[in-house]
């Protein structure tokens, strides 16, 4: 059923961005969704269609945002066994393996997490996102493993989206990088924008893009004559930008082991242990795992925290590194 938000701008609301104001007036709808609706020409300001979410409002402006009836996704179910670590009537928490993307896109419309969800229970997924992304509140990359939360209904989706936008979600990742971080722990705060040289990549910018904040700490350093210097690192995200950890580590000069997009060129080292060299060379993913996911349950208001162990292919590399260290 189509809905709408209607109001007149009051004096204390003048000069606010229209997407911010709508979100303040109706906290049930997330600012991200407001922005997407505006871009789809669903907003009228004084009976005139507005396409810019950053449009400033004036006293007395008449705001009308149309919220269309959610589109029903027409997606082919994919018989893929999901590793479900938690489920109730409102949401699912899935431990995603590396090698599968979250939702359909260019080049892959059938074998995704969304298609697997359609096979699992197509009747119980939120419908307020993109038509090809039912239930998807957030994403992790194809070659990243770990925890993601999926919404079963629109109220849950909106609530979780607001938690993400307010940066109250707990997200911790484990990663293995080349070299050592200096300092060994700290906070990286930059802007991240799309690369001007390669539109499939992101990069740090001094002035444009979206603010990105990563807190990191070094857990373990592997360094001796038989192996290249490597560091096991834990990152806690305050924001969730595209490729954020990979971009920030690359910015520090320490790309992820197995990262085929943001890798740096390293000198070929002599006398490196064959098993380690073979394992790293044949790793068909980046060493990046979404280890911890925490949020407040939208209905019960209880704080839920989930933890995932490293996949076997990543854990095996750590075991080899530790054995050589000894």
Would you please indicate which residues are annotated as catalytic (active-site) residues? Answer: 141
Check: CB of residue 239 under 8 Å from CB of residue 267. no
Q: How many CB atoms lie within 10 A of CB 182?
A: 10
Residue 218's Cβ-side half-sphere holds a number of Cα atoms within 13 Å equal to 16
Question: What's the chain's length in residues?
Answer: 326
Dihedral in degrees, nearest 10, Cα atoms 71, 75, 80, 86: 0
């Amino acid at each position: 059923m189509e809905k709408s938000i209607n109001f007149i701008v009051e004096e204390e609301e003048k000069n606010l961005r229209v997407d911010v104001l709508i979100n303040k007036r109706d906290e049930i709808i997330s600012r991200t969704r407001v922005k997407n609706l505006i871009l789809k020409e669903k907003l009228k300001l004084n009976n005139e269609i507005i396409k810019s979410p950053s449009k400033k409002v004036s006293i007395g402006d008449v705001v009308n945002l149309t919220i269309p009836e959610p589109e029903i996704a027409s997606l082919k179910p994919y018989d893929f066994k999901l590793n479900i670590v938690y489920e109730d009537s409102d949401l699912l928490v899935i431990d995603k393996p590396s090698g599968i993307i979250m939702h359909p896109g260019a080049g892959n419309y059938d074998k995704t997490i969304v298609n697997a969800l359609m096979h699992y229970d197509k009747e119980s997924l939120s419908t307020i996102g993109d038509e090809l992304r039912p239930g998807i509140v957030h994403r992790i990359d194809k070659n990243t493993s770990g925890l993601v939360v999926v919404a079963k209904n629109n109220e849950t989706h909106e609530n979780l989206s607001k938690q993400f936008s307010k940066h109250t979600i707990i997200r911790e990742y484990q990663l293995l990088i080349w070299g050592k971080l200096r300092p060994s722990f700290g906070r990286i705060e930059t802007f991240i924008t799309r690369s001007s040289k390669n539109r499939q990549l992101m990069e740090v910018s001094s002035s444009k893009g979206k603010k990105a904040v990563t807190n990191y700490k070094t857990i373990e350093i592997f360094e001796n004559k038989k192996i290249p210097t490597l560091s096991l690192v834990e990152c806690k995200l305050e924001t969730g930008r595209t490729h954020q950890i990979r971009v920030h580590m690359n910015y520090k000069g320490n790309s992820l082991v197995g990262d085929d997009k943001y890798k740096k060129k390293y000198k070929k080292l002599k006398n490196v242990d064959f098993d380690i060299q073979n394992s790293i060379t044949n790793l068909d993913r980046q060493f990046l795992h979404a280890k911890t996911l925490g949020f407040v349950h939208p209905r019960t208001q209880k704080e839920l925290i989930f933890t995932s162990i490293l996949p076997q292919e990543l854990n095996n590399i750590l075991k080899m590194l530790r054995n050589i260290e000894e």
